[in-house]
Amino acid sequence: MSESNDKQEKFFGAYVDRDVVLRLSRWADGTAWVVLTIYVLTWLFSFLLFFSQYFNGLFFAKGTETFLSTFSIFSPYLQQPLPGVFYFFGLQGISKGLLIMLDMEDNTRRAARK
């Protein structure tokens, strides 16, 4: 609560520009959500297409009448959204890691002034 709303003067001893790091963190955060949304929507559309084909008898007409053969056709749909989830968590980690490093740099600078 002891922080002031005054604009701080630029410290020329820093190696990074604070505004650029904050902008990059916001971009990584937003891109993570866009990537996750695209992967989930793609998975949902292909999942619905599979079920519409399955219930219309497309797979039974080709001779896939057992449970294992049906599951072997269905199993790639379970793996389809996984890369999007990994990209999401990776980009979120990058975003939060940048903010943590920026806080560490700021706290180190404050401690050096005291």
> For tokens 């005291």, what's the residue?
114
Question: Of 97 and 108, which is predicted with more confidence?
Answer: 97
H runs (alpha helix) in 11-57? 18-55
What is the pTM assigned to this prediction? 0.70
- Is 4 within the bounds of a domain? no
H runs (alpha helix) in 56-81? 58-61, 67-79
Number of folded domains that form the chain: 1
d(CA 81, CA 41): 9
- Is 34 within the bounds of a domain? yes
Structural domain span for residue 55: 20-104
How does residue 92 score in pLDDT terms, banded at 50, 70 and 90? very high
